[in-house]
Structure 1
Amino acid sequence: MTTRSLQRILRSLFVIAALLVFTASWISPVDAGKFFKPPATYEPGSWYVGATPDNLYPNAPVILFVQGLNSTAQTWWDNNDMYELAYQNGYQTAFVQLYDAGGTARSMWDNGRLLANTIREMYATFRKPFVIVAHSKGGIDTDAALIHYGAYPYVKKVITLGSPHDGAELADLAYSSWAGWLADILGAKSDGTYVLQTGYMQYFRQLTDTHPNAGKTPIVTLAGTKWGSFGSSYYWGGLYLSQFGTNDGVVTVNRAYHPNAPMIAVGGWNHDTIRKGSSTFNIIRQHIPLLTASAQTVTVASVAPPSSLTSSTLTSLASSSSLASPSLPSQLSSLSSSPVSYLSSETINRLSSSFSTSGTQVISTRLSAQTLRPQAVLNGSVYVRGGDAQKKVIETFAVEPSVQSLSLSWLNQGGVKSFTLRDPQGKVQYVQVSCEIDQEWFQGASVTQAAVSHPKPGMWTLEIEQSYASPYLLLAQFASPLNDKFQAKQGIRKWFVTLPDAAKSSIHGAPIWHMAALKYTLEQHTVKKIDRFDLSGIADGTLLELPVPQGLKEDSSKALINYTVDIQGYDEGGFPYNRTLIWSSMP
């Protein structure tokens, strides 16, 4: 053997050794017994092993943490003591980066497939099952991984924290006709937000809850009830969601219920604090099962791969890198569209009325999950407006006498230079104004907020000078008894909107005015059409009927419809009011 050949062999051995060292440091614990933070990388599919505690529970599963929309694995240890508390209590931990870590939120189909493959890969290292603790959309990604992509044998339990298992009304808002300009420029429209619309999640639940793998892994859920005070980062979202019920600033309690799982705790957390160890780890710890000797090994012969899905449409969807809007399988299309019962908002409000910031209410696990599913019912407390890029904007809206308080949220890019609010007499109202940066659905948007107590009835004017020409979204929210008189319920291939009793048109010589904007999307999120219906002159007590849009009658099963219904009318005293109802549905 020549010297040159020996040098080549030595160089090759050096490279192999370096690669082995790199691989080991990538997935294996270092300095066992010492707490450390995993390396900061954002590559989708990468995963990390947490520090191994000196007081390791040998018969405890590995806690695998799964983050939510637009988030990364770092959310479990940056400004969060969840990982550290798990370590201190003797648990081995693991973390994974999903596609959102790469900068673009992806659907539960993409993230679920990636998570399932990663779980199998991680099991080869740990040789013991996992308990998944998932925050927000991570709970839905986990559902897809375990049920549709067959990873359930590797997971002994799932604990979700503020997960919108039945969809998110803020996703409906992002895809509404008024929010589109701002959502587009902020990049708020992604596969991840698209699939969280309540209409799409209804479809996902139908596919998932009837799947043969559904229910094979126990699930428990937690939900929060706090969204802060005026000017806080979750205030505007919580205020908007308050028309749908108690919420954590991003997800309502009703939507956080999983159809196959009990809600084990409803507590005084917002959407951020619910994932903090100091808030919820003690509850999580009580629901981590210990493993028997036989339970520490996984039998994988029964794992159903993604190809076992019988719907060719869903298989195509799952294997696609981009999201389409598939048709319902024939066995699901005949499901009843009548509303199901749920834990009423009065009950939730009663449960949460005594919560302090750290308070927790444990809900009985005997409550049937099916009795906790939300109805398709809306409350009308908001008037919504939006527009394309402008520097100076003037918006007007009506306030009826029964309004106890008026709250305004202005979302845009770059903030505002001036915020002028005029009452019906044209007098400038000097109000406290706050500004925050949204970190959730309209990530990066500047949110300017103001509030007026007991506003005068009549037409109000808001004059805004933005820092520069930017799309905008205005939410005017009214605390008024009139709100409870608006309802929307789903029928078969149509929706019915109930309106308040109105004054007779002869009082003002003008009819009540209604405008419904129905925006529907087909494949690849493309807006095919916006149908606008002039529904003026609806008689008192008559239901406003919204049929499936004309263009969808031949192939309506492939569409997701986003409804935006603007209502201008008069109350029983003849005073004008404005409201906007927003929701989504699949026909």
Structure 2
Amino acid sequence: MSLLLVILLMVPLGARAGDLGKGTSGTPGTWYVGAQPSWVDPAKSPIVFVHGYNSSAAIWWDGNDMYETALANGYQTAFIDLYPEKDMWQNGAMLAGKLQEIYRHFGNKKLVVVGHSKGGVDTQTALVHYGAHQYVSNVITLSSPHHGTQLSDLAHSSSAWWLAALLGNNNDATRSLMTGNMSYFRSVTDGRAEIQLNRYYTLGGTKWGSFGSALYWGGLYLSSYGANDGVVTVASSRLPGGTIVRESSWNHTTIREGSHTFSVFKPYTMAAQPSGATAFSSSKVTAEPETSQIVRGGKADKAIKDGFVVEDGADSFQLAFLSDKLLPSLKLKGPDGREYKPVKVTQDTSGFFKGAWVHQFEIDKPESGKWNVTGPAAAYLFIVRIDSPLGGELKQKMNVKATYKTEWVHYKQDQNKKLKEAGKGVKAGKIADGDLKEPGVYNLTTEVTGFDAKGKPFERTIIESIYVDGNGKIHR
């Protein structure tokens, strides 16, 4: 099907009309209307598609058949450009006004909104906090991080912030998606009366690709927190008060493609709602993660010289080494002096480290002891995921002796609810409830070192975020 020229309506001064096959103006607040179906079924609501973080309206038709599929199924459609790097408060406020304009354009017909990733969070913010619930019947979210994503925690950790900052990914959007901040967002959203005025339906993905694929390293990191699609865990895609439509083998890209999911959520775009989907009501979605990872990072001005310890008895480990540039001379050296080169090199597409070069290693039956990573000057981050019985023993606090050191970074909300860095510090030991009293988000990086039951050394890293509200209550 050929892509047709669309009509641009109610756009900011200077924005241009666009062709759905050639991209968008990129101006936040600009919205586009798809071609009119040959016959409009009154039982079918117009669908508004909302993109996610670090993206634009074009994701729904550029390399994606979602628009074509919706048109072929007889749907009126609209698409909007939000701020790609702003938080849910700024995008939600703008989106609320645009939904009113789109609602009026379609003759005051209630809209169905389909939001991908952060677009689902922006949409709920518009409906619940900025009054747009009256223009919408249903909301369908495709792998939206309703409880945040641990990749955002990672991006703002003491290990990773150098790299994320150089890539331009330390911004309002990524800060807002830290799991601690989203726990606070849930606390000020889920109890509001407006949340009952729309129906919410969720889809979640469980596939992050084979070794070396674009979403693989993100999925590997998130695997400690449960099933995921390479960017968002299934648990985070579930919305309190919402209904789970399906959780299947989509990754964070395929879940927004028409040929993969339109037929799945189509029944929830109709006036009459089908039965059989699973209601989800619990807001508690995270358990204590597996303790199976080591995270290191920083900025090497002359040369990279870093390392980590692999314990005795490990079955294997996988190492994802991210840098701001391609590193052909990057090497991994084992305790026996043997050198390894990456078996796969890709560029990240997840958003939180978009554009980073990912050098991936996979080592079976690794020798225990110190492993060293060397390379030229660069900003870098590496994650080691170790397959070992020690992870379970640490989680259950069995037969191990461990010491802890925690670095924390504090972000406070300004008058516009933006999170700004307000301080940092280090504590010998874990951070306990009550240690951090100033309101705001705290990103915590805890280094764990110790000895197993055989007296052999090990290392681990735990990264998380919490929100301390004005009453001193901890949200995590």
Shared fold, TM over 0.5: yes
Counterpart in the other structure of 1:93: 77
Contact 1:254 1:374 in 2 (8 A): yes
Aligned counterparts, 1:191-202, within 5 A? 191-202=172-183
Question: Residue 242 of structure 1 aligns to a residue in which SS?
Answer: helix
Distance 1:432 1:212 in 2: 53
Deviation at 1:37, TM superposition (A): 4.6
Higher CA-based Rg: 1
Counterpart in the other structure of 1:246: 227
Distance 1:150 1:26 in 2: 24
Distance 1:442 1:500 in 2: 35
Counterpart in the other structure of 1:178: 159
Counterpart in the other structure of 1:263: 244
**Cα–Cα, structure 1 residues 63 and 431, in superposed 2: closer, same or farther, change >3 Å?**
closer
**In the alignment, which of 537, 546, 570 is matched to residue 432 of structure 2?**
546
Contact 2:238 2:280 in 1 (8 A): no
Distance 1:182 1:65 in 2: 31
Distance 1:433 1:37 in 2: 33
Counterpart in the other structure of 1:289: 270
Counterpart in the other structure of 2:456: 575
Question: Residue 444 of structure 1 aligns to a residue in which SS?
Answer: coil
**In the alignment, which of 288, 291, 296 is matched to residue 385 of structure 1?**
296
Contact 2:345 2:360 in 1 (8 A): yes
Contact 2:20 2:62 in 1 (8 A): no
Deviation at 1:85, TM superposition (A): 0.5
Contact 2:215 2:348 in 1 (8 A): no
Question: Residue 289 of structure 2 aligns to a residue in which SS?
Answer: coil
| In the alignment, structure 1 residue 501 sits paired with structure 2 residue 412 | no
Question: Residue 242 of structure 2 aligns to a residue in which SS?
Answer: coil
Counterpart in the other structure of 2:281: 369
Deviation at 1:36, TM superposition (A): 6.2
Distance 1:243 1:129 in 2: 41
Counterpart in the other structure of 2:306: 395
Q: Which has the higher helix share?
A: 1
**In the alignment, which of 302, 327, 330 is matched to residue 416 of structure 1?**
327
Distance 1:183 1:430 in 2: 24
Contact 2:305 2:372 in 1 (8 A): yes
Contact 1:135 1:275 in 2 (8 A): yes
Aligned counterparts, 1:408-487, within 5 A? 408-429=319-340, 432-465=343-376, 469-487=377-395
Distance 2:67 2:116 in 1: 13
| In the alignment, structure 1 residue 522 sits paired with structure 2 residue 412 | yes
Which amino acid is the alignment partner of residue 432 of structure 2? L
**In the alignment, which of 31, 34, 58 is matched to residue 47 of structure 1?**
31
Cα distance per residue 1:330-369 (max 9 Å; x no partner):
xxxxxxxxxxxxxxxxxxxxxxxxxxxxxxxxx9634542
**Cα–Cα, structure 1 residues 531 and 573, in superposed 2: closer, same or farther, change >3 Å?**
same
Counterpart in the other structure of 1:217: 198
Deviant stretches of 4+, over 6 Å: none
Deviation at 1:201, TM superposition (A): 0.3
Deviation at 1:443, TM superposition (A): 1.5
**169-178 or 400-409, larger mean C-alpha shift:** 400-409
Normalization by structure 2: what TM-score?
Answer: 0.89
Normalization by structure 1: what TM-score?
Answer: 0.73
| Long gaps (5+) in structure 1 | 1-23, 29-34, 293-362, 488-497, 504-511, 536-543
**Cα–Cα, structure 1 residues 532 and 583, in superposed 2: closer, same or farther, change >3 Å?**
same
Distance 1:257 1:366 in 2: 11
Distance 1:219 1:547 in 2: 33
| In the alignment, structure 1 residue 130 sits paired with structure 2 residue 111 | yes
Aligned counterparts, 1:154-193, within 5 A? 154-193=135-174
Question: Residue 416 of structure 1 aligns to a residue in which SS?
Answer: coil
Contact 1:147 1:208 in 2 (8 A): yes
**Cα–Cα, structure 1 residues 431 and 61, in superposed 2: closer, same or farther, change >3 Å?**
closer
**Cα–Cα, structure 1 residues 564 and 39, in superposed 2: closer, same or farther, change >3 Å?**
closer
| Long gaps (5+) in structure 2 | 1-5, 11-18, 469-476
Contact 2:169 2:351 in 1 (8 A): no
| In the alignment, structure 1 residue 277 sits paired with structure 2 residue 258 | yes
Calculate percent identity across the aligned residue pairs. 39
Cα distance per residue 1:526-545 (max 9 Å; x no partner):
4333221224xxxxxxxx56
**In the alignment, which of 200, 207, 222 is matched to residue 226 of structure 1?**
207
Distance 1:239 1:267 in 2: 18
Counterpart in the other structure of 2:3: none
Distance 1:426 1:240 in 2: 27
Cα distance per residue 1:444-483 (max 9 Å; x no partner):
1111111111111111112223xxx321111111112222
Distance 2:45 2:139 in 1: 12
Distance 1:152 1:225 in 2: 30
Deviation at 1:382, TM superposition (A): 1.1
Aligned counterparts, 1:4-153, within 5 A? 25-27=7-9, 37=21, 40-100=24-84, 105-127=85-107, 128-153=109-134
**Cα–Cα, structure 1 residues 437 and 427, in superposed 2: closer, same or farther, change >3 Å?**
same
Distance 1:39 1:273 in 2: 19
Which amino acid is the alignment partner of residue 530 of structure 1? K
Contact 2:304 2:378 in 1 (8 A): no
**Cα–Cα, structure 1 residues 449 and 409, in superposed 2: closer, same or farther, change >3 Å?**
same
Distance 2:424 2:63 in 1: 43
Question: Residue 384 of structure 1 aligns to a residue in which SS?
Answer: strand
Cα distance per residue 1:425-454 (max 9 Å; x no partner):
222245624232334111111111111111
Distance 1:265 1:193 in 2: 26
**Cα–Cα, structure 1 residues 39 and 51, in superposed 2: closer, same or farther, change >3 Å?**
farther
Distance 1:67 1:486 in 2: 40
Cα distance per residue 1:76-99 (max 9 Å; x no partner):
000000110110011111111111
Contact 1:438 1:447 in 2 (8 A): no
**476-485 or 244-253, larger mean C-alpha shift:** 476-485
Distance 1:443 1:570 in 2: 36
Deviation at 1:279, TM superposition (A): 0.5
Residues paired across the two proteins, number: 450
Distance 2:343 2:421 in 1: 39
